[in-house]
Structures are given as C-alpha cells and as structure tokens.
Amino acid sequence: MAQVVSTTEREIAAKPDAVFDALADYSATRPKLLPAHFSEYEVREGGDGEGTLVHWKLQATSKRVRDCLMDVSEPSESELVERDRNSTMVTTWSVAPAGGGSAARVSVRTEWQGAGGIGGFFERTFAPKGLARIYDEMLAKLAAELEK
C-alpha cells in the first residue's frame, strides 16, 4: 500500500476569516458548494467546524463510490481537518491571507492509503487528478458564493 495525495488551491477575493467561516459552515454553506459527485450529504452532529460529524457519498468515477463519515477538527484558526471514520482518508483545508489580506489562498490536501499492485498504480496515477478536479469545482463555487 502506498500513500495517495491530491492537492489543489485557489485564491478567493474575500477576507480569509469569511472564507474559513464559509468552509466551516457544514450546515448551510457547504451543501451549496458540493459538485454532483457528492450525494447523501447529511450533518449528523454539530454543523460548524470543530466537533462536526458529516456524512456523504463521493462518486469519483462511474465505478468508484466512497461512503464517507467525516469527523471535523480545527487544529488551528486557519485549518479544518476532515478524517473519515470509514477509511484512512484525511482532507485538510487551509486558508491563508493573500493579496495583502484582502483575499485568501485556500488549499485542499487529501491523502489516504492506496491499494497495492497494479490497481494501486492506477489509483496513485489517476485518483489525485480526478479528486483535484472535484475540489477545483467546489472552490469555484466557494469563490462565486463569496465574491458576490
């Protein structure tokens, strides 16, 4: 098994605090940001940052659906971490000031223990790009929401 990592980032023309607050709002804002790859989205506990428990299904390809039950933590004032109870997948959302503080640089990093063998080779080769496209779409929706 090998570590699989997907990363993407985007600059958003909104104050970093506003961007972080929107990302941490799993009850109202997050559902608006989700691309069609997400289904069965449900906040099961909390709903705002630390202590939130949220469920969704992520369909990365026509054949690959991942059932995710994510525990959310905030290890710092600018970082959200989603840990899947059903797998080794961990997604970290980081928000940093950009543009002299009038904008925010949002980065998303997802990692998990991939399969071994030839299947693992294809997973390490194609899954990071596919997941980055999904999160790019989500960040574009976040930008549209906050840059109104």
Pairing of strands 103-113, 79-84: unpaired
Instruction: State the number of CA atoms in the 13 A half-sphere of 29 facing the CB.
Output: 18
- Which pLDDT tens digit goes with each residue over 29-84? 999 999 999 999 999 999 999 999 999 999 977 778 899 999 999 999 999 999 99
- CA 116 to centroid of chain Cα atoms: 24
- Which pLDDT tens digit goes with each residue over 79-120? 999 999 999 999 999 999 998 989 999 999 999 887 667 666
